[in-house]
Structure 1
Amino acid sequence: MMFRILIVLLCCCFFSRQAQGQQKHVKEINHLIEQSYPQLVTIYQELHANPELSLQEANTSKLLVAELGKLGIQVTENVGGFGIVGVLANGDGPTVMIRTDMDALPILEETGLPFASTKVVKDPSGKETPVMHACGHDFHMTTWLGLAKIFMQMKSKWKGTLVFVGQPAEEIGAGARAMIADGLFTKFPKPDYALAIHVNPNLKAGTVGYCPGFALSNVDNVAIVVRGKGGHGASPHTGIDPIVIASKIVLSLQTIVSRELSPVNSPSVITVGAIHGGTLGNIIPNEVEMKLTVRSFGKENRQFLLDRIKNTARGIAIASNVKEADLPIVKVNEQYTPSVYNNPALTNLLSQQLEKVLGAENIIHLTPEMVGEDFSNYTALEPTLPTLIYSVGTSNERATADGKVMNYPVHNGKFQPVLDPSLKTAILSMAYSVFVLLDNKN
């Protein structure tokens, strides 16, 4: 009995000391955030005013390299394109990877901010397009730089290795794959954990949100070319109308999700977003092209949907007397974005620890969403790596004169995160999380 009491007392003593140490970290982290905040806001505004499209992030990466260089962090450029890797080695201990995305979107900014983007560039097709950081990657990069500065300033308080990854081309789902293919996990210290954040305008500023397990969906782009036999619109019986066949396919695709999959265990989406075919009302075309987005969770569910899409298109065409040689062509983009899987143990550990720092009321449990994020590729291509991407609330709860709250979604020309306290919350939550992992010897 006395032995058990002694063990309990020793455990209490250990966790009490650990908690006290972590609280000291919090005070110092907050102090350092306040010190560097004006400089970080300036960096944020510069990044926001100078966005670059996917695969064009040359100046953005140079800015990040320069800022890491000022801190004395060893940086390697041009990893998988414009990707950068900064390594901060500080003795024996866990290796933690912190990733930020860098690219912006072809969207016209409408925020009216004094540092709003006025950039117009040529996209890959040569067409001129406005560019905006409408998905918060400028916010992510600023958080990332703030984190790097804190861990340089607190170098005497931790042991281990931090790998700062600046990733290009997240918006087109190509950056993570490219960096891994270029040796991210072989040329640099292999991480024990990988972390990232994403802005969330559906959460109020000062909060963070977590979703253990599947959090964001597989994203597949599918094209279906429906072929028929063209002819005169006044004599449809002499041809095979691909527009009618395509219409039947569109309707039948909707029943795959609603009638063949569990809405609880296998949530999925099949959306036909574009149909192109024909030139005039009195001409039956030879073919119609449809473009789809397909969202799902997990490998098995994804493959089931893709197989059923192919079989549905084929079956309807056969029933419409289309010859074998002219059956629909179904093209699935091989460079799909796999679903984000947040390691449950890692997610629960960090969310519980952050309750002590931010308060339980500011830790939000999120449900899976049907959007994609190529952070998933770090786990998909390195399955043993525990990863976590969590949300940082950025909504502005201050009402306008008519009582309405300005809360625009990402990928919108009016999206703007409220920086204070969102940016401070992002840096504090990530810094504290990294300290927890560096202290985790298991």
Structure 2
Amino acid sequence: MSKAKSAGALVAFMWFAYFLNYCDRQAVFSMFPSLKADLGMTDKQLGLTGAIFLWVYAVGCPIAGQLADRFSKRLLVVLSLIVWSLVTVATGFAGSAFMLLGLRAAMGISESLFMPTAIALTANAHPPELRSRAIAVLTTAQIAGTVTGSWFGGWMADHGQWRGAFFVLGAVGLLYALPYFAFLRGVNENPTTETATPSKTLAFPILLRVRTFLLLCVVFPVFVFGLWLLYGWLPTFLKEKFALNQADAAFNATIFLQLTTAIGLLGGGMLADRLYRRTKASRLWLMTASLILCAPCLHFLGSSDTLTVTRIAAAFFGLFSGLLMGNIFPAAFEVVPADTRASAVGILNFCGAIMSGFAALFGGMWKQSLGIDRLLSFTALAYLAAGIALIMGIKRLFPRDFAAIRLARHHEQRGGLGGATVGSSRQDSGQ
């Protein structure tokens, strides 16, 4: 099999695993009314179903990233799939709010092993000029999983079978683990175009010295706060505001948002790779545009008086958010060493998931007082501030960090002989 076909097959196998990842984690958010009725959960406890998962997931991601940079990535992604599928099945047996929240924490641990490893494997299989589109294609699984998991969970809950939803989703994951592992046994884990001998030292101190990466660790949580506020509470918000049933609320909360996100992801990935030939900061510029354009969409999502306008705002938010979702990790890979990629994804996920947990929790705590609509408007202002911060980072931080990593890779490939190319590396760092 050629390298191109092998890389494509890897993305395809990773895609379905990532799809199941999001189906299993998202199904619960369209079941809130049923969980209230059957388990007696309060709004705060419902918010904690997202918060606890995300906080545990956040802690696990940097650890998983470090493990993936030093040990077998193939084994880690399969192990993660098996464990989170077992936890999903167990969630169907939950008899109390306490048990359900405990299982959400267990899911956070098991799923944290997957994403840093999967993103690093995908990046290693593709050269820089194809990396954004490859990761964008993989990330569409997140969209498909969110739509499918939310709709399926809501549909099963409407039929009094919310437990059965978890049994079905978990069983599919366990069955898929067999062909998944069989394929990954033949996959090369190392980068195809860069030298990347696994480091024997911790990646964290190295990454924390890269200022552009630190900026991304601030900007990314702002973005995912808004994302998870919608993921966690938009179905309930629409159900109560427009008197929809659970399945219809879940459908309206996901289909318009997620379908256009797929377009933004794929278009943003291809555009970033095309613009990369002209400016190495192309991914950062598209992320800036994403934040600034998403801000008014967030406001109208909460403040519109009709379902039609809400759908339009959700569609445009999805389109613009895809520009950031497909480029955040490839942008980080431009300024961090190749042997720290999984750790970089892990740290970014840590920062994002911590803030995402607060989005889920605040939605439950402030739904009656502040309201989801106002919380969305305040988040829109934070998006504008993050966009401005990225512009400053592109101008002041990125050129030096990009030149430094390019020079380091050149020395590693040439055995330390290549000082004459320093100038060209600096030219490549142009904005």
- TM-score range (shorter-chain normalised) is under 0.3
Q: By percentage of residues, which structure has more helix? A: 2
Q: By percentage of residues, which structure has more strand? A: 1
Q: Which has the higher contact order (CA 8 A, sep 6+)?
A: 2
State the TM-score, normalizing by the size of structure 1: 0.25
